[in-house]
Amino acid sequence: MKTSRRHFLQSSAFGAVGMSFLPRTVLFSQKSTGKLPRQSPESQGVDSAGIRAFLKATKASGLEWHSFMLVRHGNVVAEGWWNPFKPDFKHTLYSLSKSFTSTAIGFLVQEGKLSVNDPVLRFFPEEAPQNPSDNLKAMTIKHLLTMNTGQSTDTIPVMRANMDKNWVKLFLEQPVEHVPSTFFVYNTGATYMLGAIVTKVTGQLLEDYLKPRLFDPLGISDYDWEKSPQGLNTAGYGLRVTTEDIAKFGQFYLQKGQWQGKQLLAAEWVAEATSKQTTSREGDNDWSQGYGYQFWRCKPGFYRGDGAYGQFCMVMPEYGAVLAMTCESFDLQKSMNVAYETLLPALKKAVLPENPSEWQALKSEIAQLALPVAKGSKTSVLHAKYSDKVFKIEPNPFNITRLGLGLFDDAGVIRVAQNNETGFHKIGFGWEEWKSSKVPVKNYFVTNPNPMPSKIAATGTWLNENTLQVHCKFIDAIHGDKLTFVFEGDKVTVSMLNSISENSKNNPDKREKLIGTM
């Protein structure tokens, strides 16, 4: 999409004369519930029809959306979750976690505990190479923040491939081929180092340091953050919070570090962190607009934190708005374009007359949001034959030794036993509708399960009389798995297809089928 900043300002009617003008910034008074206040779209100068156009465009995009929340002048004007995702579910942020990590560095700078110009080696004398290169000696905290460490490639793959080694030491051992500040490369290992610096300086985990300074004041609770083998927060990924928490974080930045009338983080830091500090990537897209301190600049002129597969916190100061979106998208530019082309024109400078019919239509459409489910048949003549039976599974990498199914009129359940356990682990599913677990459940069909288990929602259907497909969605962890059971006599084969492999061309699912005998 080739659209200028001027076009966005014109299309959103920012030059138009309206009935009454909205303030550019509102420092709202947060309710005692810890939730952002809710108002009608039109009361905040947002056209409900534009939000409906956004929903229509999400459906037409062919991408998978999980949630969105649009905040205008501190008020939520629209929010929605695609079933089975829910408002109270945490969502994996991937690299959107980086923006939270840079915020911690901002607090440390504010408290006088470090400077962005401090050399990285100053904090890790014991982990440093015996003869560090001049480029490594020159690397500063600012280089970590701006992805200008001088390293040619992301360092996190090496770190994750060596789970038994010290990740800080591994990072410092990697070649620094370029003079720091002369070479931009997106480097999640650099963000890990920022988190490690927080712990080195404070003696606290990154998440514990942020708790009284950011999470508690904003009412962000029940979060979790993945840890490295050394017990440090992964910093560059792995934080899980709700959609509203993402929106509150964006509102905090929109308010230049203020919350409930208190200046928590210096406005100067917010401006510095979110402005273009370095050139980024080549091209004409949202990754070529420059990079700040773990924030990306956007083509329309604002900024965002973003994470893989479409976890977005877009902060739009000129519009007085914040947009939070969570997805499993395999075309992030397309995801952003959908928002730009529909929501930005809906943000008007003036208060709009209330439009009850349009707002009610919007509410109705939001209430019906859901991920699609496969539909074949809810029943099979094989229900009675295989329900509550147990299959002995041939040796496999997942150590699954027994497997069974409960096939009932109203729902089904997969029963899994590993390593000759006497009992079964259970994954429930609905017939052509989503059924969610109440507690996190491990994925038993992988060799290296995510260290942070997720709630699972699942739906099942019979593709034909002897083929049952169960689609599992890991609703705290974004991705999913399709399990296909093929029954022949006293045999069952189970094939697996993860959502990344299903939607991408270069990540084939290499898991072998399970084979079992009743």
Give the tens place of pLDDT for each residue, 221-280.
999 999 999 999 999 999 999 999 999 999 999 999 999 999 999 999 999 999 999 999
Judge contact between 12 and 6, C-beta under 8 A.
Answer: no
In whole angstroms, how far apart are CA 341 and each of 61, 76, 276, 362, 484?
A: 12, 20, 24, 18, 39
Per-residue burial over 279-298, b if 16 or more Cβ lie within 10 Å, else e, is ebeeeeebbebbbbbbbbbb
Of the pLDDT bands very low, low, confident and very high (cuts 50, 70, 90), residue 505 is: confident
Comparing 31 with 321, the larger pLDDT belongs to 321
Closest CA to 326 of 292, 371, 276, 358: 371
Q: What are the respective helix, strand and coil percentages of the chain, to the nearest 5?
A: 30, 25, 45
pTM, to two decimals: 0.92
Q: List Cβ neighbours of 491 (8 Å cut-off, separation of 6 or more).
A: 515, 516, 517, 518
How far is it, in rounded angstroms, from Cα 49 to Cα 55? Answer: 10
CATH 3.40.710.10 location in the chain: 91-241
**b/e per residue, 236-267, with b = 16+ CB within 10 A?**
bbbbbbbbbbbbbbbbbbbbbbbbeeeebbee
Q: Is the pLDDT of residue 10 over 80?
A: no
Per the document, the length of the chain is: 518
Per-residue pLDDT for 7 more than 60?
no
pLDDT at 11 over 50: no
CATH 2.40.128.20 fits domain 383-517: yes
pLDDT at 151 over 90: yes
Residues forming CATH 2.40.128.20 domain(s) in the chain: 383-517
The residue-averaged pLDDT of 342-369 equals 97
Which helix (H) or strand (E) segment holds residue 207: the answer is helix 206-210
Q: Is the pLDDT of residue 2 over 80?
A: no
Q: Above 80 in pLDDT, residue 33?
A: no
**Residue for token pair 């893989």:** 308
Name residue, tokens 């897209």. 285
Q: DSSP code of 38?
A: B
Measure the CA dihedral 499/85/93/365, to 10°.
100
Q: How many C-beta atoms lie closer than 10 Å to residue 506's C-beta?
A: 6
According to DSSP, the residues that pair with 403 across neighbouring strands are 416
Cα(346)–Cα(348) distance, integer angstroms: 6
Alpha helices in 129-166, H assignment, sequence order: 134-138, 141-145, 156-160
CATH fold of the domain at 91-241:
Beta-lactamase (3.40.710)
Q: Which residues pair with 91 in a beta bridge?
A: 241
CB 253, CB 274: distance < 8 Å? yes
Alpha-carbon distance 297 to 495, whole Å? 42
- Is residue 24 over pLDDT 90? no
**Residue linked to tokens 């677990």:** 437
Distances (CA, A) of 27 to 14, 300, 344: 21, 24, 22
Q: How far is CA 464 from CA 202, 485, 491, in A?
A: 60, 11, 16
